[in-house]
Structure 1
Amino acid sequence: MDMGSPQSGSEQLENLGPAEFVGTAEIQKIVKVSRQRVYQLTRRNSFPEPAAVLSSGKVWVTAEVIAWIQVHRPADLP
């Protein structure tokens, strides 16, 4: 990825590929909401299950999070 060219949040996510993971900080940047709101969103039954729970927190498969955002919060993607 060319760090000199600005990319939208969805373009950045598409470049990560399906095997990559995101945590709450990345979700917060993508959806442009507070940390507390990310916590609320990730606790919804419809939100994907975390791929792992690490000592630093939960992580999700990027492709699953993108798919969830496209269905449940499409206006948040540029």
Structure 2
Amino acid sequence: MPSIDVVINLTREECLAHYEGWAQKVHTRSLDGRRVVFPASALRQIIGRDGVDGIYRLTYSESGKFESIVVLQQNR
């Protein structure tokens, strides 16, 4: 399964906008500088009381569809 490591830094308020459906997608950067977009619904698995801040591994199918997200390093 292909994967990419990304940095996500969202405040609690920014996460709430994603969680409530105001924002459908999360835009971020990979560790090597590539732009990455994935479904905002993935944040539900990693959101903390203060938001999301750290490095996460996204896995996706061969066709490029998002499959999962895991914490590699959490900063908050």
TM-score, normalised to structure 2's length? 0.31
Greater helix share, structure number? 1
Greater strand share, structure number? 2
TM-score, normalised to structure 1's length? 0.31
